[in-house]
Amino acid sequence: MNKSVFLGTLAASALLAGIASAGTLDDVKARGELICGVNTGLTGFGAPDANGNYQGFDVAVCKAVAAAVVGDASKVKYVPTTGETRFTALASGEVDMLARNSTWTFSRDNDLKLDFVAVNYYDGQGFMVHKDLGVSSAKELDGATICIQTGTTTELNLADFFKANNISYTPVTVADDSEAQRQYLAGACDSFTTDASGLAAVRATMPDAENHVILPEIISKEPLGPAVRHGDNNWGDVVRWSFYALVAAEEKGITQANIEEVAASTQDPEVKRLLGLEGDLGAMMGLDKEWAKRAIAASGNYGEIFAATIGESTSIGLARGLNALYTQGGLQYAPPFR
């Protein structure tokens, strides 16, 4: 009897769940909360602050999506994921989307059945060396010892780069960034390699930053972006266009501060469509008219988010570089809102 009740409950809940899981968008709307997979802690990109509130460049994407879909940027449940658990957490339905500096690669897209919907940060792998080593290019690192995090794409990129240039190196494997920094400062390795954004953050917090240089070579492409489950295209579109709304807002000069003013006075038809004053773009995705307005108002446009979390005015001090708008020599480019 006990067993049959249990199985009955299980079957009933499975049935209910089957009906409920029509699509992630409907689930999120019904739940009134977005479940966003984020990093367990990465400087500038996503980490809880001293009061436990999640902040950062990736976290801002979660907030924008929540604002667009649920109508409130604070209605996000952040699920910290590690490098090992992130993709399974997404695939098993534990999170609705990942915004966790994950590199968009062919095998992740096809083999792991993820959909990377956009690129919110174009990164690349770089090297940091002690200044007194007298090295000015990564190609001069023949025979160097290099601190490298195990089990990452950076490890593979490093091997590829040295093989391609026919030079040798000795790897010193470390578990995470803080250990790498420790080993590098203690002189256990000549050079430390990771994503350029990570290098900049590490250098910014070194006691003797002036004695270390980041070499000009970027040896890999690391397009980092939000990802969703393969097959739920409607939800993928929602996340993608919520992000592009932020980029388009920067292109059009719409900021968190002036958005109401722009909405009241604009004559630009695309801005009108974006802000829901004309046409009905939101309804095409299953959202209301003001979805993009709320997404932009959540933490500002793409440029504002960049400046507030990792930009040159912060201690991390990253330049826009590849992440500038296409009009300023970068790669960020929003498809037309039409």
Q: Which residues bind another protein (CB under 8 A)?
A: 1-2, 5-6, 9-10, 13-14, 17-18, 20-21, 27, 39-44, 46-52, 77-82, 84-85, 88-89, 92-94, 176-178, 181-182, 201-202, 204-207, 314-316
**Minimum distance between the CB of residue 84 and another protein, rounded to whole angstroms?**
7
Which of 40, 105 has the CB closer to another protein?
40
Which of 88, 170 has the CB closer to another protein?
88
User: How far is 335 from 273, CA to CA, in rounded Å?
Assistant: 13
**Minimum distance between the CB of residue 44 and another protein, rounded to whole angstroms?**
7
Asked if residues 11 and 18 have their Cβ atoms less than 8 Å apart, the reply is: no
**Minimum distance between the CB of residue 311 and another protein, rounded to whole angstroms?**
12
Element (H, E) at 115: strand 114-116
Asked if residues 55 and 99 have their Cβ atoms less than 8 Å apart, the reply is: no
**Minimum distance between the CB of residue 331 and another protein, rounded to whole angstroms?**
26
Which of 163, 182 has the CB closer to another protein?
182
Which of 47, 213 has the CB closer to another protein?
47
Amino acid at 180: A
**Minimum distance between the CB of residue 302 and another protein, rounded to whole angstroms?**
21
Nearest to 328 by CA among 296, 308, 309, 302: 302
Burial class (CB in 10 A: 0-12, 13-18, 19+), 221: middle
CA angle in degrees (0–180, nearest 5) for 312-318-322? 120
Which of 4, 267 has the CB closer to another protein?
4
User: How far is 251 from 301, CA to CA, in rounded Å?
Assistant: 9
